[in-house]
Structure 1
Amino acid sequence: MPESRIRVMEIIARLNVGGPATQISGLIGRLNRDAFDHRLYVGDIDEEEGDHLRLHGAGPEFAGGDGGKAPPGRVHRVPGLGRSVSPAKDLAALAHLATAICHFRPHVLHTRTAKAGALGRIASALSGVPSARVHTFHGHLLDGYFSRPKRAAYVTFERLLAPMTCRLVTVGERVRDDLLAAKIGRPAQYTVIPPGVRIRPVPTRAAARLQLGLPQDAPVVAFVGRLTKVKRPDRLLATARAVFQRVPDCRFVLCGGGDLYDEVEREAARLPGEVRLLGWRKDTEAVYAAADVVLLTSDNEGTPLSLIEAGMTGTPVVSTRVGSVEEVVLDGRTGLLADRAPGHLARHVVRLLSDPALAGRMGEAARRWTASAFAADRLVADTENLYRTAAQDRGLSTAPEGARI
């Protein structure tokens, strides 16, 4: 590989099943290796979370490494860098990252998610290595995650970290606007890079239902995502109850896991219709293809991949109007958006279940829109351009500085 490559050190707290892990795994395999020497540093996931690498059978580029000394393109595990906060472990992770930065000397240091963003940027400052620091907000933690005191602390910390950051990246315009309204960073620092998605071959509706053991003639509503507080599975089940009152033969299919899985399973058993919990699956394209409607009930979202993937399979969506959802679902054209009331969500679901022609038109419009707006090739090009311009803006040379391997 040429020594003039731009060295990129990417840091994320964990690769649990979700949007950030999907985006990163897609990028790692497709960044131009003649132009970029990319290393990924990650922590461990919690027991109740799905492991993206294990679920998707990741290839050799996701083998373990340590301290910046593993072969290029491999993942480097950082002890203490998981989701949970622990002063002793966080300090160990900070020291580990600072050492890795000194060894690798990245032109671009790219952090993702809150904890990795804090530790990575502080480690970069402590190392003295003149990297262009980039941080991506895949969503934001301003609503639905924290109590008011914790939210205030988060906002304060992000305000302090923003001046030491070259570029702040968001996955949608609404996310950017909300962060600016919270006085995090300056408008000129922000770059919007929507997700890019490539799904596997989509089975026919009949084949997908056979694969999942669903009846061919029943209405099916699907949810794909984590069963955790911010996704509001309680609202999902309340919506299901209201739908069952109007469409008693409907089936709800929930694909995902999380800390509320057991509670959701107990509450779902009390509903007057069938709710099937599938756990984590890698064949989500079959779940979307089997569904007549995909439902999202979250309090907060960035730019949700599940809705993009649903669109790419030609399945219309009903969702709460939160975060940058409106940039994915064109209300009245590719799906229907609602306020957070279960009754409102249920009315939209019933409308689509009761009008297959309307659902078909919206699904086809969603397929065209998501294929053009959220292509994986566009994400790769946007990310490569981000790295080039960030390094150039900082005046960082890609000339050799000694051995890095």
Structure 2
Amino acid sequence: MKTGSRIRVMEIIARMNVGGPATQVLGLSEGLNPEEFDHRLYTGYLEGDEGDHLRLRDTSIRVHRVRGLGRSINPADDLRALFRLVSAMRRFRPHIVHTRTTKAGAIGRTAARLSGVGAARVHVFHGHLLHGYFSPVKLGLYVRAERALASVTDQLVTGGAQVRDELLAAGIGRPEQYVVIPPGVRLGPVPSREKARAELGLPLDAPVVAYIGRLTRVKRPDRFLDAAGAVLARVPGCRFVMCGDGDLREEVKHGIAPARDSFRLLGWRKDVETVYAAADVVLLTSDNEGTPLTLVEAGMAGTPVVATRVGSVAEVVRDGHTGLLAAPDAGALAAHVVRLLSDPGAAARMGATARDWTTGAFGVERLVADTEALYRSLRGASRHRLTPEGTNT
């Protein structure tokens, strides 16, 4: 395919921090066929220790930085980011504007309208903010904003059917606008259990339970600590590792003080495969999730999980087969953890089943193929013809 006839895609995400959306963007950017797609990534700058360098330092992807597109809401910076994107769109003339994350979705889709380039608009909901984030007043504003943005969007994408259904129930978009594209993951080499535990300073013979994710309110690290306390009462030698960071870090440090020797706070680690390999169980305690990559990765590493039944978690974890699901209750989660720790044979069978299931259903190659098909279908929704960059239509 000639360079000028490629489908031009402008992908916009607020920040490439450690997390699921950034993982999806990298896998997609590295996997798209460059002969068919001219794909460019636009993202903001990070604040503090959000982990951007862990995602971008080892990739050859060209990143276009947009000041003001990061996490913080600041009207002046947001307005400047909006017009920087408008200018970039008029130079690049994308056929598709592909947005992810709430802020980038709002600014990017607005910029697509203001730019006048006629791009088709697609927005990905990796999850949503309907539960566990806002006060009722702020939630109402969020819903109204997403409804308005959905009305000027050609395609809405979710990683799972449950997230789609919850957004539709809130009046965001129409059923025919939605397409479900499950996430795609490529996990690095998984070390042996012995090597992983030596790397993390964990005893080889102790049961180990892992938390992997941001230390922030919706992820409920406090519930993890409560569940850990209940597990320790029945399995005194158990160890707990927490891989991640966030605004609740100091609260977590305070919370583990009574049993400090049983916990390891790892911060962000690039070699997350080491944490999965060291763990007997991965425990997710969130109030709200989309389609969590942590659970996909745990499955690919052959580690069974215990998780709250929220969002599209049940579309990743096959309850009773690849892990165990429970209500968002520390006691119920702890009981499931103890069950797996008490029956290593059953845990190993679940881990093996999880490896087969997640590797087949959530491979990055499938994500790329699904997204390429979406882009081709959106060619017809583009409001201008496929023409070389810089040509007026």
TM-score (norm. length: structure 1): 0.94
What residue is the counterpart of 2:15 in the other structure? Answer: 14
Pick which of 384-393 and 286-295 moved more: 384-393
Amino acid paired to 2:159: V
The structural deviation recorded for 1:126 is: 0.8
The structural deviation recorded for 1:210 is: 1.3
Indicate yes or no: 2:321 matched with 1:320.
Answer: no
What residue is the counterpart of 1:45 in the other structure? Answer: 46
Find the partner of 2:121 among 133, 147, 171.
133
Q: Distance in 1 between matches of 2:266 and 2:391?
A: 48
What residue is the counterpart of 2:156 in the other structure? Answer: 168
Q: Distance in 1 between matches of 2:69 and 2:253?
A: 31
Q: Distance in 2 between matches of 1:56 and 1:163?
A: 33
Indicate yes or no: 2:236 matched with 1:248.
Answer: yes
Q: How much identity, in percent, do the aligned residues show?
A: 64
Query: Are the aligned partners of 1:49 and 1:259 in contact in 2 as well (CA < 8 Å)?
Result: no
The structural deviation recorded for 1:55 is: 5.3
Q: Distance in 2 between matches of 1:106 and 1:401?
A: 8
Structure 2: any 5+ residue segments left out of the alignment? none
Query: Are the aligned partners of 2:51 and 2:268 in contact in 1 as well (CA < 8 Å)?
Result: yes
Find the partner of 1:102 among 78, 87, 90.
90
Q: Displaced runs of 4+ in structure 1, greater than 4 A? A: none
What residue is the counterpart of 2:59 in the other structure? Answer: 59
Q: Supply the RMSD in Å over aligned alpha carbons.
A: 1.4
Query: Are the aligned partners of 1:4 and 1:399 in contact in 2 as well (CA < 8 Å)?
Result: yes
Indicate yes or no: 2:108 matched with 1:86.
Answer: no
What residue is the counterpart of 1:23 in the other structure? Answer: 24
What residue is the counterpart of 1:71 in the other structure? Answer: none
The structural deviation recorded for 1:219 is: 0.2
Amino acid paired to 1:138: H
1:169 counterpart SS class: strand
Query: Are the aligned partners of 2:92 and 2:389 in contact in 1 as well (CA < 8 Å)?
Result: no
Q: Distance in 2 between matches of 1:85 and 1:315?
A: 38
Q: Distance in 2 between matches of 1:185 and 1:55?
A: 32
The structural deviation recorded for 1:128 is: 1.0
The structural deviation recorded for 1:48 is: 4.1
Offset from partner CA, 1:96-136 (integer Å, 9 cap, x none):
01111111110000000111000011111111110000000
Structure 1: any 5+ residue segments left out of the alignment? 62-73
1:38 counterpart SS class: strand
Query: Are the aligned partners of 1:108 and 1:387 in contact in 2 as well (CA < 8 Å)?
Result: yes
The structural deviation recorded for 1:397 is: 2.3
Q: Distance in 1 between matches of 2:32 and 2:364?
A: 11
- Following superposition of structure 1 onto structure 2, how do residues 352-391 of structure 1 map, counting pairs within 5 Å? 352-391=340-379
Amino acid paired to 2:72: S
Q: How many residues are paired up?
A: 391
What residue is the counterpart of 1:262 in the other structure? Answer: 250
The structural deviation recorded for 1:272 is: 6.9
Offset from partner CA, 1:210-256 (integer Å, 9 cap, x none):
11111110000011111111100110100001010000100000011
Offset from partner CA, 1:38-63 (integer Å, 9 cap, x none):
11110112214222x345633332xx
1:235 counterpart SS class: helix
CA separation of 1:401 and 1:20: change in aligned 2, threshold 3 A: closer
What residue is the counterpart of 1:70 in the other structure? Answer: none
What residue is the counterpart of 2:177 in the other structure? Answer: 189
The structural deviation recorded for 1:399 is: 2.6
2:355 counterpart SS class: helix
Query: Are the aligned partners of 1:319 and 1:336 in contact in 2 as well (CA < 8 Å)?
Result: yes
TM-score (norm. length: structure 2): 0.97
Amino acid paired to 1:228: T
CA separation of 1:209 and 1:56: change in aligned 2, threshold 3 A: farther
Indicate yes or no: 2:141 matched with 1:153.
Answer: yes
1:270 counterpart SS class: helix
Q: Distance in 2 between matches of 1:340 and 1:170?
A: 23
Q: Distance in 2 between matches of 1:321 and 1:385?
A: 31
- Following superposition of structure 1 onto structure 2, how do residues 389-404 of structure 1 map, counting pairs within 5 Å? 389-394=377-382, 396-400=384-388, 402=390
Amino acid paired to 1:121: R
Amino acid paired to 2:194: A
Query: Are the aligned partners of 1:193 and 1:379 in contact in 2 as well (CA < 8 Å)?
Result: yes
CA separation of 1:54 and 1:355: change in aligned 2, threshold 3 A: closer
- Following superposition of structure 1 onto structure 2, how do residues 223-238 of structure 1 map, counting pairs within 5 Å? 223-238=211-226
Find the partner of 2:289 among 295, 301, 305.
301
1:3 counterpart SS class: helix
1:60 counterpart SS class: coil
Q: Distance in 1 between matches of 2:298 and 2:389?
A: 46
Query: Are the aligned partners of 1:50 and 1:258 in contact in 2 as well (CA < 8 Å)?
Result: no
